[in-house]
């Protein structure tokens, strides 16, 4: 097991220390960064440098974790930028392209963009802590702590979609690959939520299996839909070799375990992924 979570927690403590120290100056208006002493400014830059180093090591972990893949790397990079801004007492705001309406007259198309806004030291501190905690949660998904068993037994931990070749991140024009395990888990969660809605899906695992086999369907009643063109849900690793699929799982317990595993993963990743990136 790596020491990355400990590293992050140490940096977190160092940053909290810094924010608390400079919050004494919070009464001033304007740009707190400009009011820092050279040694406080150095302290902020040192923390950022440490984050950069540890983020590179975390990225290497994520690149080898098929369940996380590119979504996790995007979240990691975004979080580093948020922390960078927070260490300069700024909040990074990012938005997608959207339209603004006045009654029903289109007023403006606002292109995607971002900006930084000045914040107080205490706001910067909570923004920073939120971002670093997000990375910690992702890291926990990638590297469960040794004393806590992973969410499923070892036969299940080897499950997941067949590993897809991961192209190096950051390279322009890379092909968008098939759904990663991350997306697959989210799809499973969506389907379970739709099919079972308010009842316990465990009571009817076969029905969930049928729905997963049917794929991502937006018909009001999926069971009456016979479209063969839906996005399919990747099978757990090893099923294909056994000739098993969602409709004919190895056995019901294995099916339930596979679904539980994906629901837990989806839940953990939902907590770990900021909405702006979904
Ligand atoms: Zn359908």
Span from the CA of 120 to the centroid of ligand 1 (angstroms): 50
Span from the CA of 35 to the centroid of ligand 1 (angstroms): 60
Span from the CA of 252 to the centroid of ligand 1 (angstroms): 23
CA distance 52 to 47: 9
Residue 159 has what pLDDT?
Answer: 41
Span from the CA of 233 to the centroid of ligand 1 (angstroms): 13
Question: b vs e for 116-142, b when ≥16 Cβ sit within 10 Å of the residue's Cβ?
Answer: eeebebebbbebbbebbbbbbebbebb
CA distance 147 to 81: 32
Residue 36 has what pLDDT?
Answer: 87
pLDDT in tens, 24-51: 775 556 778 888 889 999 999 999 999 9
**Quick one: 1 exposed, middle or buried, by C-beta within 10 A (0-12, 13-18, 19+)?**
exposed
Residues of the chain with pLDDT under 50: 1, 147-179, 276-278
Which SS3 state, helix, strand or coil, does residue 41 take? Answer: helix
Span from the CA of 159 to the centroid of ligand 1 (angstroms): 26
CA dist list (Å): 81 to 98, 192, 252: 23, 35, 45
Residue 65 has what pLDDT?
Answer: 74
Span from the CA of 237 to the centroid of ligand 1 (angstroms): 24
Span from the CA of 79 to the centroid of ligand 1 (angstroms): 37
Span from the CA of 178 to the centroid of ligand 1 (angstroms): 20
Span from the CA of 165 to the centroid of ligand 1 (angstroms): 29
For residue 221 the two structure tokens come to 């009643």
Among the listed residues 127, 2, 9, the one whose alpha carbon sits nearest the alpha carbon of residue 58: 2
CB-based contact 140:132 (threshold 8 Å): no
Span from the CA of 222 to the centroid of ligand 1 (angstroms): 5
Span from the CA of 210 to the centroid of ligand 1 (angstroms): 11
pLDDT in tens, 249-258: 998 888 988 8
CA-CA-CA-CA torsion for 54, 60, 65, 67, nearest 10 degrees? 60
Residue 183 has what pLDDT?
Answer: 77
Span from the CA of 195 to the centroid of ligand 1 (angstroms): 12
Span from the CA of 161 to the centroid of ligand 1 (angstroms): 22
DSSP string, 72-113: HHHHHHHHHHHHHHHTTTEEEEEE--EEEEETTEEEEEE--E
Residue 135 has what pLDDT?
Answer: 92
Span from the CA of 211 to the centroid of ligand 1 (angstroms): 9
Q: Which uninterrupted H or E stretch holds 114?
A: strand 113-118
Span from the CA of 229 to the centroid of ligand 1 (angstroms): 8
Residue 188 has what pLDDT?
Answer: 92
Span from the CA of 259 to the centroid of ligand 1 (angstroms): 20
Residue 145 has what pLDDT?
Answer: 52
115 DSSP assignment = E
Domain regions of the chain by residue span: 4-142, 156-164+176-277
For residue 122 the two structure tokens come to 């205490």
Residue 71 has what pLDDT?
Answer: 79
Span from the CA of 202 to the centroid of ligand 1 (angstroms): 22
In 96-247, which ranges are continuous DSSP H helix? Answer: 121-142, 154-157, 181-196, 205-214, 239-242
Span from the CA of 192 to the centroid of ligand 1 (angstroms): 14
Span from the CA of 179 to the centroid of ligand 1 (angstroms): 19
């Amino acid at each position: 097991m790596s020491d990355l979570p400990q590293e992050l927690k140490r940096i977190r403590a160092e940053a909290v220390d810094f924010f608390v120290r400079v919050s004494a100056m919070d009464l001033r208006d304007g740009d707190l960064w400009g009011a820092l002493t050279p040694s406080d400014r150095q302290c902020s830059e040192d923390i950022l440098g440490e984050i950069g180093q540890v983020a590179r090591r975390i990225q290497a972990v994520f690149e080898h974790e098929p369940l996380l893949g590119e979504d996790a790397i995007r979240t990691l990079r975004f979080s580093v930028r948020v922390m960078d801004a927070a260490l300069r007492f700024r909040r990074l705001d990012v938005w997608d392209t959207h339209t603004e309406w006045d009654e029903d007259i289109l007023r403006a198309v606002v292109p995607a963009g971002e900006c930084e806004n000045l914040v107080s030291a205490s706001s910067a501190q909570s923004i920073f802590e939120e971002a670093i905690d997000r990375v910690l949660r992702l890291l926990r998904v990638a590297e469960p702590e040794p004393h806590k068993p992973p969410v499923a037994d070892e036969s299940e931990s080897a499950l997941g979609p067949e590993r897809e070749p991961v192209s190096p991140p950051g390279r322009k024009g890379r092909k968008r690959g098939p759904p990663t395990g991350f997306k697959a888990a989210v799809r499973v969660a969506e389907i379970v939520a739709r099919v079972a809605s308010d009842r316990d899906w465990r009571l009817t695992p076969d029905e969930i299996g049928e729905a997963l086999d049917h794929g991502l369907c937006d018909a009001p009643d999926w069971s009456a839909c016979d479209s063969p063109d839906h996005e399919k849900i990747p099978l757990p690793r090893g099923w294909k070799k056994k000739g098993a699929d969602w409709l004919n799982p190895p056995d019901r317990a294995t099916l339930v375990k596979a679904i539980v595993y994906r629901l837990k993963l989806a839940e953990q990743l939902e907590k770990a992924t900021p909405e702006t990136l979904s």
